[in-house]
């Protein structure tokens, strides 16, 4: 069961690029986005990635609590529906997990989340647009150089339907932004002009 009172929902002011909470409302961007040019337009997250969010995400991945994804997808659509529609995305694209991880887990949490949001807002979901070529280490535990090496060759373009110009990536956790950037660069190379993202939680991680 999700303990709502323990969850920390993202509140303004937020970074205009990644959507992470910032302390000073006079600032436009968080320190991460000021340091690193982003390949995506901007993103939105529902929760701050604290201990309660970490526990909830672990319950989904390792204890098969897929019903949590129904709650989070519904909450994202309800809270940010107008903003998501303004993104004018052609499709939602879940961040893929490696085939062996999906086989072990039995599902891709990002895909289930995307389908809940897509159904609520009437946006198609196309998981086949991205392929995960290798299992990667958790980005939050790595240095900037290690993150780049970790993600090198991790993703590839899959079957991209003709005419797709605007995409919203969907994932459960945004920490460093390296994953979204890596995927955005791949999609741009395939002719996608606008890449935004949605995630359940956002933060530096633990």
The end-to-end CA distance of the chain, in Å, is 22
Please tell me whether the overall predicted TM-score, pTM, comes out greater than 0.85 for this model. Answer: yes
Burial of 62 (0-12, 13-18, 19+ CB in 10 A): exposed
pLDDT at residue number 2: 66
Tens-digit pLDDT string for the chain (206 aa): 667 788 999 999 999 999 999 988 889 999 999 998 999 999 999 999 999 999 999 999 999 999 999 999 999 999 999 999 999 999 999 999 888 888 888 899 999 999 999 999 999 999 999 999 866 655 556 565 666 566 667 899 999 999 999 999 999 999 889 899 999 999 999 999 999 999 999 996 44
Contacts of 205 (CB under 8 A, 6+ apart): 49, 54, 138, 140, 173, 175
Smallest Cα–Cα separation from 89: which of 39, 156, 164?
A: 164
Measured between alpha carbons, how far is residue 13 from residues 10, 24, 27, 79, 175 in Å?
9, 7, 9, 16, 18
**Residue 147 and residue 176 in contact, taking contact as beta carbons nearer than 8 Å:** yes
Q: What is the 3-state secondary structure (H, E, C) of 61-113?
A: HHHCCCHHHHHHHHHHHHHHHHHHHHCCCCEEEECCCCHHHHHHHCCCHHHHH
């Amino acid at each position: 069961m999700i303990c709502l009172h323990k969850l920390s929902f993202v509140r303004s002011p937020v970074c205009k690029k990644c959507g992470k909470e910032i302390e000073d409302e006079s600032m436009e961007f968080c320190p991460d986005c000021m340091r690193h040019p982003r390949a995506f337009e901007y993103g939105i997250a529902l929760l701050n990635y604290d201990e309660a969010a970490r526990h909830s995400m672990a319950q989904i991945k390792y204890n098969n609590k897929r019903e949590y994804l129904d709650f989070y997808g519904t909450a994202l659509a309800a809270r940010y529906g107008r903003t998501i529609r303004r993104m004018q995305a052609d499709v939602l694209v879940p961040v893929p997990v490696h085939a062996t991880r999906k086989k072990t887990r039995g599902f891709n949490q990002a895909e289930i989340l995307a389908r809940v949001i897509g159904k609520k807002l009437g946006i198609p979901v196309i998981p086949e647009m991205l392929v995960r070529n290798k299992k990667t280490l958790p980005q939050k535990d790595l240095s900037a150089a290690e993150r780049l090496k970790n993600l090198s060759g991790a993703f590839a373009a899959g079957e991209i339907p003709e005419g797709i110009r605007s995409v919203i990536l969907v994932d459960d956790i945004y920490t460093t932004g390296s994953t979204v950037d890596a995927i955005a660069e791949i999609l741009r190379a395939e002719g996608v002009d606008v890449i935004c993202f949605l995630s359940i939680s956002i933060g530096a991680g633990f």
